[in-house]
A and B are shown apart, each in its own frame.
Chain A
Amino acid sequence: MADRSVGVLAELPPVPPTALGRRSAPAPTRGGEPTVRRRLLAAVVDQSSVVGFHQVKVSDLCGLCRISRRTFYDYFPDVEQLFVAAYGELDRELRRDVLRAWTAGDRDPAAALAALVAFAAADPVRADAYFVQALAAGLAVADRRRRTLEWLATLMAPDAGDRAPWAVEIACGGVWDVIRSRVAAGDVSGLRRDAAALVAAAAGR
Chain B
Amino acid sequence: MPAPPALERNAPADRREGLTASRRRLVGAVAALAPERGSRRPTVARICKQAGIPKDAFYDAFPDAEECFSVTIEDALEQLWAIIDAAVAEAEPRWESRVTVAVSTFLAALDADPGRAWLCVVEPLGDSRRADHARTRLKERLVALLRGEPGLDGDAPSRTSAVGTVGSLWELAVQHVTGQGEELGVDEIAGSVTFLALAPRIGRTAAMQAVFTAPRPSELTVVWPADREHDDG
Q: State how many residues of chain B have any CB contact under 8 Å with chain A.
A: 37
Enumerate chain B residues within 8 angstroms of A180, measured Cβ to Cβ. Answer: 125
Contact A170 B172 (CB under 8 A): yes
Question: How far, in whole Å, are A37 and B90 apart by their CA atoms in the complex?
Answer: 57
The answer to whether B192 touches A166 (Cβ under 8 A) is yes
Please indicate the chain B residues that have their CB under 8 angstroms from the CB of A10 in the complex: none
Query: Interface residues of A toward B: which range?
Result: 35 or more
Q: When the two chains form their complex, are residues B167 and A132 in contact, meaning their CB atoms are under 8 A apart? A: no
Main secondary structure of the interface of B (DSSP, over half): helix
Complex partner residue of A54 from B126, B165, B167, B174, CB under 8 angstroms = B126
B196, A167: Cβ atoms under 8 Å? yes
| Residues of A close to B66: CB separation below 8 A | 54-55
The answer to whether A136 and B127 touch across the interface, beta carbons within 8 angstroms, is yes
Stretch of A20-28, A59-67, A96-104, A194-202 on the interface side:
A194-202
Q: Tell me, rounded to whole Å, the shortest Cβ–Cβ distance linking B173 to chain A.
A: 10
User: Is B167 touching A175 in the complex (CB atoms < 8 A)?
Assistant: yes
- Interface check A53, CB cutoff 8 A: yes
**Contact string against A for B residues 37-49, beta-carbon threshold 8 Å, 1 for contact and 0 otherwise:** 0111100000000
Question: Shortest CB–CB separation between residue B198 and chain A, in angstroms?
Answer: 13
Nearest Cβ distance between residue A171 and chain B, in whole angstroms? 7
Q: Are A138 and B168 in contact (CB under 8 A)?
A: no
A135-B126, A135-B174 as given contacts; A171 in contact with B164, CB under 8 Å? yes
Q: Is A41 an interface residue (CB 8 A)?
A: no
A34→B125 CA distance, assembly (Å)? 31
Chain A residues in contact with chain B, CB under 8 A? 52-55, 80, 128, 132-139, 142-143, 146, 149, 166-167, 170-171, 173-178, 180-181, 184-186, 194, 197-198, 201-202, 205
Q: A167-B196, A170-B168 are in contact. List 7 more A-B contacts (CB 8 A).
A: A132-B126, A139-B179, A146-B180, A149-B171, A166-B192, A170-B192, A197-B160
